[in-house]
Amino acid sequence: MNKINVNDILTSYDKENLTIATVCSHSSLQIFNGAKKEGFKTIGISVGEKKKFYDAFPLGKPDEFFIVEKYKDILKYTNELREKNAIVIPHGSFVEYLGAEKFLTFNIPTFGNRDVLLWESDRGKERIWLEGAGLTMPMEIKNPKEIDMPVIVKYHGAKGGKGFFIAKTYNEFLRRIKKDKPFTIQEFVMGTRYYLHYFYSPIQNNAYKLSKGSIQLLSMDRRDETTIDEVQRLGSIAELEEIGIHPTFVVTGNIPIVMRESLLPKVFDMGAAVVEKSLNLFGGIIGSFCLETVVTEDLEFKVFEISARIVAGTNPYTFGSPYSELIQPDMSTGRRIAQEIKFAAKNKLLDKILT
Ligand code: AMP
* 6 is a domain residue: yes
Task: Clarify whether residues 80 and 159 are in a common domain.
Answer: no
Looking at 234, 252, 270, the residue that finishes a domain is 252
* 84 secondary structure, DSSP code: T
What are the b/e assignments for 310-325, b being 16+ CB within 10 Å? bbbbbbbbbebbebbe
Q: Does residue 341 form part of some domain?
A: no
In a domain, 84, yes or no: yes
Please check whether residue 93 lies inside any domain of the structure.
Answer: yes
Specify if 265 maps to a domain.
no
CA 100 to centroid of chain Cα atoms: 14
* 118 Cα to the center of ligand 1, angstroms: 20
Task: Report how far ligand 1's centroid is from the alpha carbon of 293 (Å).
Answer: 9
pLDDT at 14 over 90: yes
Instruction: Give the chain's domain count.
Output: 2
Residues with CB under 6 A from ligand 1: 138, 152, 154, 161, 164, 186-189, 193, 223, 225, 249, 292, 294, 304-305
Tell me the per-residue pLDDT of 290-335, one tens digit each, with 9 for 90 and over: 999 999 999 999 999 999 999 999 999 999 999 999 999 999 999 9
CA dist., res. 31 & res. 13, Å (int): 21
Q: Give the pLDDT score at 230.
A: 92
Tell me how far the alpha carbon of residue 284 is from its chain's centroid: 16
Question: Over pLDDT 90: what percentage of the chain?
Answer: 85
Rounded to whole angstroms, the Cα distance separating 87 from 236 reads 49
Q: Are 301 and 136 in contact (CB under 8 A)?
A: yes
Phi and psi at residue 36, to the nearest 5°: -60, -40
Which structural domain, as residue segments, surrounds residue 169? Answer: 144-189+225-252
In the chain, the percentage of residues whose pLDDT exceeds 70 is: 99
**Alpha carbon 90 to chain centroid, angstroms:** 9
Boundary-marking domain end, from 60, 95, 110: 110
CB atoms inside a 10 Å sphere around CB 128? 13
Tell how far the Cα of 353 is from the centroid of ligand 1, in angstroms. 30
CATH number at residue 66: 3.40.50.20
What is the rounded (10 degree) CA torsion for 247, 248, 252, 257? 70
Q: Specify whether the CB–CB gap between 67 and 49 falls below 8 A.
A: yes
pTM above 0.85, yes or no: yes
Q: How confident is the model at residue 122 (pLDDT cuts 50, 70, 90)?
A: confident
123-170 residue pLDDT tens: 899 999 999 999 999 999 999 999 999 999 999 876 777 889 999 999
pLDDT reading at 1 higher than 80: no
Residues 93 and 177 in one domain: no
Asked whether residue 272 is assigned to any structural domain, the reply reads no
Q: Looking at the domain assignment, is residue 173 inside a domain?
A: yes
330 C-alpha vs ligand 1 centroid, how far in Å?
31
pLDDT, tens digit, 9 for 90 and up, residues 87-115:
999 999 988 888 888 899 999 999 999 99
